[in-house]
């Protein structure tokens, strides 16, 4: 099996990235309506909200080409593992993380950072914490253009995001990775961690820990749902409130997981 790039037919950034992928990868040929294949990866287009799409095609992993929306509307490129530490307000199953792929997340972020810095756009590149749906049985990743309608259809942005997806699809597996706990939604500390050469799988925000508590089951999911062994947990120390920090450290130590400050 190969990775599958997921395109949402009602998502403007997704369609922009699709056209860039078809231009960048000449081997990507259409085999049936809404399905393309190449030696590197396959691509399929589905209707509906992208956070609700459960792909009909089996694959090694799923890489979603998507919009990113924020109140600030700041132009940026983002990537993250989908999944819900707590409630499922935006698709997927509650209290269910997905299997993260640290190698693919690092490859996407690294390539988009390299190309954005060298481009006329020079947009910020950020890793986000785990959030929203869908919930899938294979490793999955969102790679996104943000953060408003003004950016989603810019061809140059589509090419940069497509190159990030190609890098993710072709990334070599890593022997081990860390998981991240704490920080804000855009977790700049963990973005720097990844860009400096430490791959990260699931990343759980400080506000999720505060809102939903430190659950041994969810901490086990964060450690266990990864496509490579997790050898340590990195804690954004100031990004976790005191009581929750103590609970998290106790939980990690109970599970025998090494931890350190990020």
pTM check: above 0.95: yes
**pLDDT tens for each residue of the chain, 262 residues long:** 899 999 999 999 999 999 999 999 999 999 899 999 999 999 999 999 999 999 999 999 999 999 998 877 899 999 999 999 999 999 999 999 999 999 999 999 999 999 999 999 999 999 999 999 999 999 999 999 998 999 999 999 999 999 999 999 999 999 999 999 999 988 999 999 999 999 999 999 999 999 999 999 999 999 999 999 999 999 999 999 989 999 999 999 999 999 999 9
CA 176 and chain centroid, separation: 18
192-215 b/e (C-beta count within 10 Å ≥ 16 → b):
ebbeeebbbbbbbbbbbbeebebb
Alpha carbon 145 to chain centroid, angstroms: 12
> Which structural domains are found in the chain, ordered by start?
4-169 (3.40.630.50), 177-261 (3.40.50.10700)
Cβ atoms of 40 and 166 closer than 8 Å: yes
Query: Phi and psi at residue 239, in whole multiples of 5°?
Result: -90, 10
CA distance 262 to 190: 8
Collapsing DSSP to helix, strand or coil, 200 comes out as strand
């Amino acid at each position: 099996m190969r990775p599958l790039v997921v395109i949402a037919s009602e998502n403007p950034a997704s369609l922009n990235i699709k056209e860039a992928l078809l231009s960048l990868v000449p081997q990507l040929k259409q085999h049936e309506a809404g399905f393309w294949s190449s030696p590197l990866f396959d691509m399929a287009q589905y209707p509906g909200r992208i956070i609700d799409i459960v792909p009909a095609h089996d694959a090694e992993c799923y890489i979603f080409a998507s919009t990113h929306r924020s109140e600030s509307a700041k132009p940026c490129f983002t990537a993250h593992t989908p999944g819900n530490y707590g409630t499922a307000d935006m698709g997927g199953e509650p209290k269910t993380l997905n299997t993260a792929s640290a190698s693919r997340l690092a490859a996407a972020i690294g390539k988009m950072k390299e190309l954005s810095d060298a481009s006329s756009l020079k947009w910020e590149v950020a890793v986000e914490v785990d959030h929203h749906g869908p919930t899938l049985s294979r490793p999955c990743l969102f790679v996104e253009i943000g953060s408003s309608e003004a950016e989603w259809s810019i061809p140059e942005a589509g090419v940069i995001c497509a190159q990030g997806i190609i890098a993710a699809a072709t990334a070599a597996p890593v022997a081990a990775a860390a998981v991240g706990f704490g920080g804000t939604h855009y977790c700049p500390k963990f973005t720097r961690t990844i860009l400096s050469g430490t791959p990260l799988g699931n990343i759980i925000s400080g506000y999720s820990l505060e809102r939903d508590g430190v659950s041994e089951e969810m901490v086990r999911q964060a450690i266990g749902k990864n496509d490579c062994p997790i050898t340590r947990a990195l804690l954004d120390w100031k990004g976790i409130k005191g009581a929750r920090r103590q609970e998290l450290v106790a939980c990690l130590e109970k599970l025998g997981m090494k931890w350190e400050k990020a």
